[in-house]
Structures are given as structure tokens and as C-alpha cells.
Amino acid sequence: MIRTLIVDDERLARAELKRLLSAFTHIEVIGEAADAEQARDLIEALKPDLVFLDIQMPECTGLELAAELNPDLQFVFCTAFNSYALDAFSLNALDYLVKPVNPERLAKTIERAQQKAQPAPHVIQPTQNYLPDSHGILLKFGDSSRIVRLSEIARFESIGNHTAVYCPYGKSFVLSSLSKIEQRLDPQYFFKASRADIIRLDAIERIEAGVATGSLLAVLHNGQHVEVSRRQALALKQAFAGF
């Protein structure tokens, strides 16, 4: 089964695509989102294999959302406009469908998704490509630059299209999304506290109750206070569970 998520701000458009997808026995629609914020939450919680994305949505477009997605996640743009096709395929979209969706054209898209979901025969799948904890990153601090090891970094914070990096030498910035950085970090050492923050587990000094109900506050050795979302609060507690 290909676990599928539909993202479109128009309820009728979601219903129509869901109806068309019901004809495919190996497609399971596991959720629907009306905007990018809902989509991010569902992608994180449900871990779909395939996402159908509208392009023109309020606050955050489908193109902007697709740029944040894990490169292993297949996605298809489904829009009323054909003028975004070049941008769509530059983001490695599986396909680009124009509304109203033609069932035969959709069938070809689903066939491509199924082929990509099946590993090639006799090929050993690579293990997760995490960076070693001793890996050095060249960071700039004022007028000077230095190599900082991952083991020295206490926190990654998403700020616009940059990510702030906190370490004993101060604060630096890298031009990369937090989601891309997360893919290279070993969860043995780093924990995603929310959509905006990744913190190093051994940089946490104590855990307190957060501002929002059910959330937590991670207090780091450097004095920073990092909000842990309700969704991640239980996982953080489990990371420090006893015997």
C-alpha cells in the first residue's frame, strides 16, 4: 500500500481527488490538509509515502512546502494552472497534474509512484547517512571562521531560510533548512524539539513544564530555554527514561 496525503485548501478539490484515488486498490489516503501548517503536522505524524500538493494556497504555497520535504518523500503537484511546471520539476516532483484531473493521466502517475516505491532487485539499500559526531563544520563568527564539531553544537534553530547554530564559540548561521540538517543528524545525539528547533540531548540540563498545555521546556547548559512541542514531549521523556 502507498500511504497518501492530500493537501489542498479547497474542500471539494480534496474530495474529488480522494474519489479518483479510491479506484486504486494499492493507494490508501491516510489524511487531508487544508494548508501547509496542517500538512507539516500530518507529514511528521503520519509519515506518508506520497503527497498530492496544490500549489496556490494561503500563506505558504505548495512549491514552498515541497522545498521543505524530505527528499525521500514522493510528491505530486495537482493544480489548476500549468504555468508552474518548470518550478515543480526543479523540485524533483514525481508528476504535475492539471485540474480537473484526468483519471487516465492519474493512473500513469500512480504507476510511477508504485515503481519508485519498489526497491530495485539485487540492490542493497544504503543505511541512513548520518554524519559522525566528530564531523567538523566550517562556521563564521564575526570576522573569523572556525571548524566546529557536531559534538560541540547544542542547538539548531530555524530562522527564515537560514538555520542558527549555537555552540561554545557563539552563534553562527548556515544557509540550509532545518529539515535538511535533520536528515544528517544522528537521533542518538540530537532531538527535534519542534518544527523550529533541534537540540543536542546531552546539552539538556533539566526539563520543565512548558507554556502551552502538555508542552515542555528544555533548559540547556548554555542557559537557553527551548520549547518542546506537545507532540515531541513524550518522546523527550522517553529519551531520558529509567531502566
Condensed to tens digits (0 to 9), the pLDDT of residues 86-96 reads 666 677 888 88
C-alpha cell at 36: 501547509
Give the CATH number of domain 2-117; options: 3.40.50.2300, 3.20.20.10, 3.40.50.300, 3.20.20.70. Answer: 3.40.50.2300
How is domain 136-239 classified at the architecture level of CATH? Beta Barrel (2.40)
pLDDT tens digits, one per residue of 38-71? 999 999 999 999 999 999 898 888 888 988 888 7
Does this chain's domain 2-117 share its CATH topology with 136-239? no
Read off the pTM: 0.52
Mean pLDDT to the nearest integer, 199-207: 95
CB atoms inside a 10 Å sphere around CB 155? 21
At 229, the amino acid letter reads: S
Using pLDDT thresholds of 50, 70 and 90, give the confidence band for residue 129.
confident
Question: How many Cα atoms are found within 13 Å in the side-chain-facing hemisphere of 96?
Answer: 18
| Segments making up each domain of the chain, as ranges | 2-117, 136-239
Which residue(s) pair with 36 in the sheet? none
Tell me what pLDDT residue 160 has. Answer: 85
C-alpha cell at 226: 527551548
Tell me what pLDDT residue 243 has. Answer: 56
Residue for grid cell 562556521:
139
Tell me what pLDDT residue 125 has. Answer: 46
At 28, the amino acid letter reads: E
Q: What is the mean pLDDT of the chain?
A: 88
**CA dist 160 → 15, 38, 163, 177 (Å):** 33, 19, 8, 9
One-character DSSP codes across 94-150: SEEEESSPPHHHHHHHHHHHHHHHSPPTT-PPPPP-PPPTT-EEEEEETTEEEEEEG
Mean pLDDT to the nearest integer, 71-85: 83
pLDDT tens digits, one per residue of 215-230? 899 999 999 999 998 8
Using pLDDT thresholds of 50, 70 and 90, give the confidence band for residue 161.
confident
- For residue 59, the SS3 value is coil
What proportion of the chain, given as a percentage, has pLDDT over 70?
92
C-alpha cell at 92: 524533483
Tell me what pLDDT residue 241 has. Answer: 74
Tell me what pLDDT residue 116 has. Answer: 79
Tell me what pLDDT residue 119 has. Answer: 55
